[in-house]
Amino acid sequence: MSQNDIRALVLITGSKEPMNPRTLQAELGLRRETVSRLITHLVEVGLAERRGREFVLAGTHPAEAFKRLYFSHRASPLHKILSLRRVELLARLDRTPRSLEALARETGIPGDTLYGYLKGFLWVGIVSRSRQGKAYLFSFNYIVWPELKDFVTLLQEYQVLRLVPREALLIKSYGTSVLFKSLRSQDATFTSFSAYEDYGIELFLRDNYYTLPKRELSIQEVFIHSLDSAGEFSQKLFCVLFYLKNRDKLEAIDHPMKKNLKAVLQGERIKDYPTLVDIEDRTDLYDIQF
């Protein structure tokens, strides 16, 4: 979002009455066309809503979170804190201290720009800085700015959830991406069981499994998506087979279901999970050494 987006949102949030475009134009000192674009953008991202010719703060979770942020830090320069790519950086920052280089890799924000953002965050106490050898490490200050983290998290989740097609079923939101299934073909990236064919396990399924935004997935992401999709017995069997066929690449995966998968492979019987006999019946079909 731009600084003007945030300035407009601050004015809308602080107003006791619905805001009209002329008032906003006078307060911001901007042209009518610019104000119209600001309003449209804020409506699109779920932070404002129209009421006839006027507009108010939306009733969405991110809008309510911004309201809490505004009243907790009314004197802070929110238009500077949240503009440009700072929201991406704030989404990545947490209690784990990270170096400038690590944050640059995770966000894709150029180092010089990132340093400027962090310097501004330090000034208002959003981040804490520690030192490890010659490197400075940065972590989010939850004590002073919990409302800011809530807003950034809910805003990103809201944007991601809007990606899910209306006729699809959401399986899981990961904060910056979503996993869903659909009977219809979708303009999205195949994942979970729908991507198993790329790794030597062809399945004939009714549902298609997708993720958005569209991107190239690693085998580890495909496996995690399938674990998160596996509610039925047959789906858990597919996960076991995929793990066996690609064990060397999936051994480091940390997921709650993986413990059960490894247990059944040791001969343990777990309710709603396949047995060794079930697994052995399918290994030859997919040329899996077991």
Give the percent of the chain with pLDDT over 70. Answer: 100
Question: Average pLDDT, stretch 252-267?
Answer: 94
pLDDT digits (tens, 9 = 90+) for 27-72: 999 999 999 999 999 999 999 999 999 999 999 999 999 999 999 9
Q: What pLDDT does residue 176 have?
A: 84
CB 187 within 8 A of CB 168: no
Q: What pLDDT does residue 213 have?
A: 94
Whole-angstrom Cα distance, residue 76 to residue 65? 16
**270 phi, psi to nearest 5 deg:** -125, 135
What is the Cα Rg of the chain in Å?
24
According to DSSP, the residues that pair with 209 across neighbouring strands are 181
Q: Is 82 helix (H, G, I), strand (E, B) or coil?
A: coil
Q: What pLDDT does residue 128 have?
A: 97
Reported residue count of the chain is 290
Whole-angstrom Cα distance, residue 82 to residue 110? 17
Q: Is 152 helix (H, G, I), strand (E, B) or coil?
A: helix
**290 band by pLDDT with thresholds 50, 70 and 90:** confident
pLDDT digits (tens, 9 = 90+) for 86-135: 999 999 999 999 999 999 998 999 999 999 999 999 999 999 999 999 89
Whole-angstrom Cα distance, residue 266 to residue 93? 40
Task: Name the residue type at position 153.
Answer: T
The residue behind tokens 């979002």 is 1
Q: How far is CA 149 from each of CA 88, 161, 277, rounded to the nearest angstrom? A: 11, 18, 49
Q: What pLDDT does residue 38 have?
A: 96
Nearest to 273 by CA among 285, 259, 284: 259
Q: What pLDDT does residue 212 have?
A: 96
Q: Is the dihedral of CA 156, 144, 78, 40 positive or negative?
A: positive
The residue behind tokens 């030859």 is 284
Question: Average pLDDT, stretch 198-206?
Answer: 94
pLDDT reading at 149 higher than 90: yes
Question: Average pLDDT, stretch 175-182?
Answer: 93
